[in-house]
Structure 1
Amino acid sequence: MAAHHQIAASLPGITSGQRGFVLVLGAVALLALVYAVVLVKEVLKADQGTPKMQEISKAVQEGAAAYLNRQFRTLGVFAIIVFLLLLLLPVNDGGWPVRIGRAVFFLVGASFSATVGYVGMTMATRANVRVASAARGGGGQRGFHIAFRTGGIVGMLTVGLGLLGACVVLLCYNDHAPTVLEGFGFGGALLAMFMRVGGGIFTKAADVGADLVGKVEAGIPEDDPRNAATIADNVGDNVGDCAGMAADLFESYAVMLVAALILGQSAFGSKGLMLPLIIGGIGVISSVVGILATKLRATDRNGLVPINRGFMISAATSLVLVAIAAFTFLPSNFSKFGAGFASKGNPAVIAFVAVLIGIVLAVLIQQLTGYFTDTIRRPVKDVAKTSLTGPATVVLSGIALGLESAVYTAILIAIALFGAFLLGSGSIGVALFAVALAGTGLLTTAGVIVSMDTFGPVSDNAQGVAEMSGDIDETGARILTDLDAVGNTTKAITKGIAIATAVLAATALFGSFADAIGTATIKAIGADGTISGTNYAFQYLVTQPNNLVGIILGAAVVFLFSGLAISAVGRAAGRVVFEVRDQFRTKPGIMDYTEKPDYARVVDICTKDSLRELATPGLLAIFAPICVGFAIGVAPLAGFLAGAIAAGVLMAVFLANSGGAWDNAKKMVEDGHHGGKGSQAHEATIIGDTVGDPFKDTAGPAINPLIKVMNLVAVLIAPAIVKFSLGNDSSAAVRVVIAVIAFLIIAAAVIVSKKRVVSMGENPADREPAEAAA
């Protein structure tokens, strides 16, 4: 392994001719942004509906914008602190210019992630009323078109900004680009995680609170205007499912490119730096094709049929173009890359098959997730049927469904990883690059994937706007209900694909982590970087107890992170429940429409609670790998990352699919099955949906950026860990101090979080001021 790192450290960057090609790819990225502008104009030209619809939509727009503005102000301070810390962390090669570049592009990555999220939220809050208006006249095809094209805006921003950032870094830093890109990917991943957690807490606190008081206690419909939490619920759909998920998918795209560029340089030389960008450019083209091909036909059974069709067309386009690129750009043997590349096999074949594996994985996960969450499939029908025996059986069947589906998804991802590994022909560097190429292949359809995801909250909001306004006929209501059910499935599908990219990216980042450790070791002790003796902190044997400790801790962090996120939703939802109950009690005229609920009050509660609660999961993600790495060494830290990936993929899929199945089971009952609305079966499915809300929209999706944040933190701190691990006694003392500080920060954050308890039998207004402030 040491020899591999010596080669990697001395590899040249791109040639002058290749720089021109990078400029062309940068132009392709800009064209993606131009197409996003075209889609914006198309969506905004649509009719905005009745004045009442516009009034409700405007309230949602204002609430969502106010939340994100406050969140960005909070995270802006945090981003500056991380920027300064990155300046202090050493780099293995390049000195201060590279160190500064890494810190600067951390801010760029965070800004791009924020931009994708903000624009996605902004367009979704403007599209909802247009979809609702289209449905009024029975325009199901028109409503579908507006909702999906709105998602296309976010999709093109994702691929455009991700590719543009990578091109700029490569042009500016050439052979040092992989190190600088670590900062770019970290910025995108960190901000996405905070937006995903914060937005997820907001949306599900409002949703759970609205359901528990409105539907269960008061017996009024989901989006009834008499419920004070309805505006907050609709705001939450946008800040959680649009802004949060859009930022999440952007960082998935960016981090995957980062991993591929880092590993490509050592596996394929300068062509390894170019190939991921070429595949990214192909992704722009195939995403445009997929978006244009997604049109609802009169003969389609439901909205999922054209979405699947567009996705397949996009995937096929990607595969054909990647085949052309691989066999024209890459040589037929490794010797043509130059001295030091002695791997076996045909690089062009390896690259094409790796991308094929990624695309096939995306298609299979789409089909598998759709099977477990679609209303026309047996699993959801079975969950809905259990509502006849009460909420307990609904919850049990949903949990069982989630657990089972997670196994199948994990097996698919494992097969893909092993297939990419076999392509390495005995070279771990080539094998890891193949894994990274599989991830970039999966994300060649990123534009369509993001469109699928944004389609969900836009459809959900459209139904809410229509119901709250009352300006919708029975046919229009039926159209919006169908679109919302399809949206639930597409959101579950994109979450499944997102966790697959997280696993592929994290596995690929293992390579960059090992590379950083190897290079730092050579720099610290010279020679070939081989450590003699019995320094178990540098030995990667799974049978070593210290490495098993790392694996256990990594898995434990996923469980703790999920528990913290779900608990945060429970606490915030408790406050919403009390507020809505209090408004029903103090304003009796609400029920007969003579008094208007205070919607802004609930929005404010959700905003404050979500911004306060997101700190603890975020601090855990950042400081857990620091604590493990500095306390017990780099090999246990590798085990920690492996444990987090293994537990993370199972947990994320379990949470997402359980929640999606519960939600669609509820919609089946609301459609008239098993007694319909108002029946005991309906109440049972509402309980299941309420349990599933923080599963599928808070904890589950946040695991994706969690895994990548922890991997990138490990890569960034690797040189420092090696430096202090191989130093003198004073260095050991510094390691201990850093580990203890990291542990104390995590412990303090968890303890403070646990003190924020709102029991269901206690009214916050009756609490002591000092206790309420906690």
Structure 2
Amino acid sequence: MTIFQQLTMANLFLEQALPLSLVAGLIGLVAAWGLIQWIRSQPDGNDRMREVAAAIQEGAAAYLNRQLQAVSGIALLLFVAICYFKNLPTGIGFLVGAACSLIAGFAGMRIAVMANVRTAQAATLGRTPALRNAFNGGAVTGLLVVALALLSIGAFYLVASKYLGLRAAIDSLTGLALGASLVSVFARLGGGIYTKAADVGADLVGKIESKLEEDDPRNPATIADNVGDNVGDCAGMAADVFETYAVSLIGCVLVAYLTVLGGDGKPEPAALTYPFIVGGVSILSAILGILTVNFGKGNPTRLLSLGVLVSALASAAALWPLTQIFFPNGLCHDGQIASTIGIYLASLVGLLMTFVVLLITNYYTSTHYSPVRNIAKASETGHATNIIAGLAIGSHATALPVGFIGIAILLSYHFAGLYGIAIAVMAMLSMAGIVISLDAFGPITDNAGGIAVMSGMPKSIRERTDELDAVGNTMKAVTKGYAIASAGLASLVLFGTYVQELKVHFAALGTAMPSLEFSLTEP
């Protein structure tokens, strides 16, 4: 193949990069649909198990319907306000973002409450079948989050840029981010409050007042407790990460538009579409990681970690040739040059940050390591020492993640400036497909244990579900660390784009830009 032919193929790929990323999003939806059909085909136990599961499903549906009513009313008012004060395209983007976020979280939660009884039944066959059922139920949520986020933003950007122009399309994307944020607030805060209220209420009336065990069928609050697990850790986390993913991807596009300019002074098309390709590649990598967990055997924690590792390695391997195609000569960002390898290394920083946060959080929350064991030992002498030990270790646990986030910011900025930070954040959030699968795995195993107790299954079954529940609790904590770290990095990108917007604004006015100082005391 001649050099001319290679350049022609590369240019053709660049022109079709955004549609190809949308194809990857569609593949993610197809994979999620396939997992849903697989879950439906699994046995759902005896009549008593189905009765308990139906009560949990009914409670989840009641919560979802009530929250949908609240969100819809406020969303309609905001849509009218956005259309009046801004424009119709931004209002449409707002509705698209809110709708896709709702679908990702609520559909994932419905599948989770379907998978719980099947996980309990699979536990009669062994730990591995139960693990597979629970993980596949969680994987539906993970795939829906990344696929719908990429599809909604990519399709809206593609259509809006064609009919409105590039700048108007990017401005309209802010409405989509606002829609995702609205749902995130309701799902995360509302779901979190419901979860804790149900959990603490069930413990007070069951364990404290009536001296009943966890998930005892005589405790009327048990069903609400099991519903709450799904509300907070499935629908809530999904909406949270969907919002962060959407904001980060939109921030990447905006940073590229403002800082990565070609020789003609116009935004570099490759820099605008590269974040979409990062997202598309990672959806395919997440599917590979999900398959790894499904065909593996052994320790649950190691198997789930292997799925994340395979997904990250596949993304890293695929991004290098793609980065060479997109940026064969590097890029010019804000007047400085970033090399091809520098852009690729910025994406690697994001992938590595995912692993660093997961490993640190796992160390501080897993039952296999000293922090949790020290808290358990402190509990032997009473409530006071338990609280003291928990607060001390919790405070200590924040030091390493904050330090590594700072290092990641410095490294990615060194490699490719503000665009490098944006790419690092996008690479980190592109792992959401497999990471959210781990998070939704937690409430499914928790519910499976509750169903096992309430339906009178043998103690050996509860022991298997308890083992998976312990892993699920660790995974929920791990994914919370991931969500917080990625949101922190995403906020830095937004601050950066704000500063760049001000530079463009004052340059257009022909005046010097005043000095900026971001302060919590004087916002």
Calculate the TM-score normalised by the size of structure 2: 0.92
Q: Deviations over 1:63-109 (max 9, x none)?
A: 1111111111111111122223323445xxxxxxxx32122111110
CA contact (8 A) 2:105 2:145 kept: no
In the alignment, which of 164, 167, 170 is matched to residue 154 of structure 2? 167
Which whole-Å CA distance do the structure 1 matches of 2:67 and 2:214 have between them? 27
Corresponding position of 2:263 = none
Which of 296, 315, 319 lines up with 1:318 in the alignment? 315
Q: Which amino acid aligns with 2:382?
A: G
Deviations 1:141-160 (A, max 9, x none): 11100111111111111111
1:278 corresponding residue in structure 2: 277
Amino acid at match of 1:60: I
Cα contact 1:141–1:296 (8 A) shared by 2: no
The answer on 1:256 being equivalent to 2:243 is no
User: How far off is 1:441 after superposition?
Assistant: 1.0
TM-superposed CA distance for 1:28, in Å, is 1.7
Give 1:571-590 correspondences, 5 Å limit: none
Compute the displacement of 1:50 (Å).
1.3
Tell whether the 8 Å contact from 1:372 to 1:405 is kept in structure 2 after alignment.
yes
Q: Aligned AA for 2:58?
A: E
Shift of residue 43, structure 1, vs aligned partner = 0.9
SS at match of 2:27: helix
Q: Post-superposition shift, 1:161?
A: 0.8
CA distance in 1, matches of 2:341, 2:258: 18
Pick from 195, 198, 203 the counterpart of residue 190 of structure 2.
198
Give 1:366's aligned residue: 358
2:103 counterpart residue number: 115
The aligned runs of 1:526-537 (5 Å cut-off) are: 526-527=509-510, 529-530=511-512
Query: How far has the Cα of 1:328 moved from its partner?
Result: 1.8
**For 2:22 and 2:243, how far apart are their aligned partners in 1?**
18
Pair 1:456-2:449 in alignment: no
TM-aligned CA deviation for residue 18 of structure 1: 4.7
Partner Cα distance (1:384, 1:286) in 2? 38
2:493 & 2:334 partners in 1: Cα distance? 19
Question: CA deviation digits over 1:300-337, x for unaligned, max 9?
Answer: 3x3111010110110000101111110122132436xx
- Give the direction of change, closer, same or farther, for the CA distance of 1:490–1:296 in structure 2 (3 Å limit): farther
Change (3 A) 1:20 1:327: closer
1:400 maps to 392
Cα deviation 1:243-274 (Å, max 9, x = unaligned): 11111122222111111111122333211111
Q: 2:130 aligns with which of 143, 150, 174?
A: 143
C-alpha displacement of 1:296:
7.4
Structure 2 residue runs of 5 or longer lacking an equivalent are 1-10, 261-267
Deviation at 1:433, TM superposition (A): 1.3
Partner SS state of residue 48, structure 1 = coil
Q: Which residue of 1 aligns with 2:288?
A: 289
Matched length: 501
CA contact (8 A) 1:334 1:342 kept: no
Whole-angstrom CA distance in 1 between matches of 2:123 and 2:242:
31
Letter in 2 for 1:234: N
- The 5 Å alignment of 1:428-467 reads 431-467=417-453
Specify the alignment match of 1:540 in structure 2: 516
Root mean square deviation, CA, Å? 1.8
Computing the radius of gyration over CA atoms, which structure comes out larger, 1 or 2? 1
* Amino acid paired to 1:54: R
Provide the residue aligned with 2:179 in structure 1.
Answer: 187
1:47 CA drift (Å): 0.7
Give the conservation status (yes or no) of the 8 Å contact 1:116–1:154.
yes
Mapped contact 1:295–1:306 kept (Cα < 8 A): no
Give the distance between the partners of 1:187 and 1:361, measured in 2 at CA. Answer: 27
Residue 60 of structure 2 aligns to which amino acid in structure 1? A
2:492 alignment counterpart: 507
Q: Deviations over 1:571-617 (max 9, x none)?
A: xxxxxxxxxxxxxxxxxxxxxxxxxxxxxxxxxxxxxxxxxxxxxxx
Query: Residue 440 of structure 1 aligns to which amino acid in structure 2?
Result: M
Among 45, 49, 62, the residue aligned to 1:49 = 45
Q: CA deviation at 1:374?
A: 0.3
Which residue number in structure 2 is paired with residue 576 of structure 1? none
Q: How much has 1:504 moved relative to structure 2?
A: 1.2
> 3-state DSSP class of the match of 2:83?
helix
Structure 1 residue 354 displacement after superposition: 0.7
1:310-389 matches, cutoff 5 A = 310-334=307-331, 342-346=335-339, 348-389=340-381
CA distance in 1 between counterparts of 2:321 and 2:507 reads 40
Distance in 1 (alpha carbons) for counterparts of 2:359 and 2:478: 8
Equivalent of 1:152 in 132, 139, 144: 139
Which residue identity lines up with residue 437 of structure 1 in the other structure? Answer: I
Hey, what does 1:419 align to over in structure 2?
411
Per the TM alignment, residue 206 of structure 1 is displaced from its structure 2 partner at its CA by 0.7
- For residues 320 and 258 of structure 2, what CA distance do their matches in structure 1 show? 22
Aligned to 1:28: 24
Return the alpha-carbon distance in structure 1 between the equivalents of residues 311 and 137 of structure 2: 18
SS of match in other structure, 2:430 = helix
1:129 maps to 117
Deviation at 1:445, TM superposition (A): 1.8
> Given the two structures, how large is their TM-score scaled by the length of structure 1?
0.63
- The code of the aligned residue for 2:289 comes to G
Three-state SS of the structure 2 residue aligned to 1:247 is helix
- Structure 2 residue 88 is the aligned partner of structure 1 residue 103: no
8 A Cα contact 1:109 1:184, kept in partner: yes
Q: Corresponding residue for 2:234?
A: 242
Q: What is the DSSP-based 3-state SS (H/G/I as helix, E as strand, rest coil) of the residue aligned with 2:32? A: helix
Secondary structure at the aligned position of 1:222 is classed as coil
2:135/2:438 contact within 8 Å kept: yes
**Residue aligned with 1:344, SS:** strand
Q: Any idea what the Cα deviations from partners look like across 1:436-474, whole Å, max 9, x if unmatched? A: 11011112322110100000000011111111111x212
Distance 2:159 2:409 in 1: 32
Q: Partner residue of 1:477?
A: 462
**Do the aligned partners of residues 35 and 203 (structure 1) sit closer, same or farther apart at CA in structure 2, a change above 3 Å counting?**
same
Deviation for aligned residue 1:201: 0.8
Contact 1:238/1:457 (8 A) holds in 2 = yes
Report % sequence identity.
37
Query: Offset of 1:522 from its aligned partner?
Result: 5.1
Offset, 1:216: 2.0
What is aligned with 1:672?
none
Q: One-letter code of the match for 1:490? A: M
Q: For residues 403 and 330 of structure 2, what CA distance do their matches in structure 1 show? A: 32
- Note if 1:497 corresponds to 2:496: no
Distance in structure 1 (CA, Å) of the matches to 2:205 and 2:506: 59
Q: Is the 8 Å Cα contact of residues 376 and 386 (structure 2) preserved in structure 1?
A: yes
Question: C-alpha separation between the residues in 2 aligned to 1:491 and 1:53?
Answer: 25
How far is the alpha carbon of 1:297 from its aligned partner?
A: 5.1
Deviation of the 1:343 alpha carbon: 1.6
Q: Report the equivalent of 1:468.
A: 454
Contact 2:442 2:469 in 1 (8 A): yes
Q: 1:222 aligns with which of 214, 217, 237?
A: 214
Using the alignment, how far apart are the partners of 1:246 and 1:444 within structure 2?
14
Q: For the Cα contact (< 8 Å) 1:49–1:129, is it kept in 2? A: yes
* Aligned equivalents of 1:539, 1:202: Cα separation in 2: 44
Unmatched tracts of structure 1, length 5 or more? 1-14, 91-98, 425-430, 532-537, 542-546, 553-635, 638-774
In structure 2, what residue type is equivalent to 1:134?
A: A
In 2, Cα distance between the equivalents of 1:342 and 1:539? Answer: 20
